[in-house]
Structure 1
Amino acid sequence: MPALVQRLRRTGSISALCLEFTILTAARSGEAVDARWDELELERGIWTVPPARMKAGREHRVPLPARAKIILDELA
């Protein structure tokens, strides 16, 4: 595991969790910060970002890795 990720996990802050989520999903920071619970399908492991929040103006479906789902569970 990269040193940055280890440091983020040690801090345990919401900001650190958001940054790790952003890294894991390769999302823009604004997309991650503005993510809404109704966009997340945790059972299926999909995050659907609506067109209005995407730079390209198109819906974007993001697969959620296991660690991203753990982060979301911690934040719930």
Structure 2
Amino acid sequence: MSRQYLDVPYRSKDAAKALGARFDGAVKRWYVEAGADLIAFSAWLPAGTILAAAVGCIKKQRAEWWDPECVFQPIVDAVSA
């Protein structure tokens, strides 16, 4: 199964774990399994995956009106982290 690795600082490890992230001791990084809702982990996504998470949110809405908070929150979280 594919993994999405996260950039979790030590001080945030408990929060990431509470959301369902797991620690890979071999590479010493936190991750979530493929298919996980990345919006919940947006604060720790590597920079290249933030836009992908926002696009996934838009596709998830599949409505005429999309939720701007859902789309832009991953970007705000990443910038403020």
Larger radius of gyration: 2
Q: Which has the higher contact order (CA 8 A, sep 6+)?
A: 2
Relative to the length of structure 2, the TM-score reads: 0.31
